[in-house]
Amino acid sequence: MKGRLRLGVNIDHVATIRNARGGPHPDPLRAAAVAQAAGADGITAHLREDRRHMTDGDIERLVAEIALPLNLEMAATDEMLAIAVKHRPHAACIVPERREEVTTEGGLDAAGGRQGLEPVVGRLTEAGVRVSLFVDPDPAQLDAAAALGVPVIELHTGAYCEAFYEAGATAPATLGELDRLVRGAAHAEALGLECHAGHGLTFDNVTPVAAIPTVMELNIGHFLIGEAIFGGLDSSIKRMRAIMDKARADSLGSRTA
Ligand code: PXP
């Protein structure tokens, strides 16, 4: 364990709600400020090709005006690369993007797409941006990420979260997906990669992921913004923080007991 488990709050869906009406409310920057006050360690935002939630102006304002580090999620396209190099966010997480998908459905094919990724990783790194790749917990993908020279990978937790809701917390399918994450995190550590994780995490399913001691950061968005409807953004983030901190403390306690 190398430090406190960080929480990156993904504020894309504040922009989704704003864009439903086209005006300025609710403002993602205000959400970033609330997230910071509530204990978030970073802000995550995905600028999609179709600009369905975050806009270029949002990214510009986030870089200029928020104190927390910005993790820009982006596809490995020339357009996004130019934007990232212009704004130089703290970090960029390269994700696969398909126009027709509702959300990022699977991990990046770092193994199959190595040639295309190499120049993007190189250019971002030269610009001083910390690059991560959003990959499934598959050893071949992690090996490819290490070969590309990125310092960070983010494990896609979507399959685990889906199994959790479809089959239950202790069903073999869920435990199997959790085991893939645990083994993926261990493999990443053996390769010297910092390990992050995210997608589909909620109050109910976050504990086993937060308990993996080499996972350094969780990026969580949709659930936190949805939960904010009922109790406020401040409260949903503080509760997530508390669950994550407890999971990590309990897992460390059980390792040293
Ligand atoms: N991490 C990455 C790389 C993502 O693409 C997303 C979704 O934008 C998330 C984390 C957060 O997922 P969710 O919104 O389901 O919490």
198 lines ligand 1 (CB under 6 A): yes
Reduce the DSSP state of residue 15 to 3 states and report it.
helix
Q: Exactly one of 73, 97, 194, 217 is catalytic; name it.
A: 73
Which atom of ligand 1 is nearest the CA belonging to 8? 10
pLDDT at 104 over 80: no
pLDDT of residue 2: 56
Q: pLDDT at position 155, please?
A: 98
223 Cβ inside 6 Å of ligand 1: yes
Taking the CB of residue 100, how many other CB atoms lie within 10 A of it?
5
Q: What is the share, in percent, of the chain residues with pLDDT greater than 70? A: 96
User: How confident is the model at residue 257, as a pLDDT?
Assistant: 65
pTM of the model: 0.96
Q: Quote the pLDDT of residue 18.
A: 97
Give the model's pLDDT for residue 139.
97
pLDDT digits (tens, 9 = 90+) for 32-46: 999 999 999 999 999
Tell me how crowded residue 238 is: count the other CB atoms within 10 A of its CB.
16
- Give the tens place of pLDDT for each residue, 170-208: 999 999 999 999 999 999 999 999 999 999 999 999 999
- Told to judge if 46 belongs to the known catalytic residues of this protein, a careful annotator would answer yes
Residues 249, 252: Cα–Cα separation, whole Å: 5
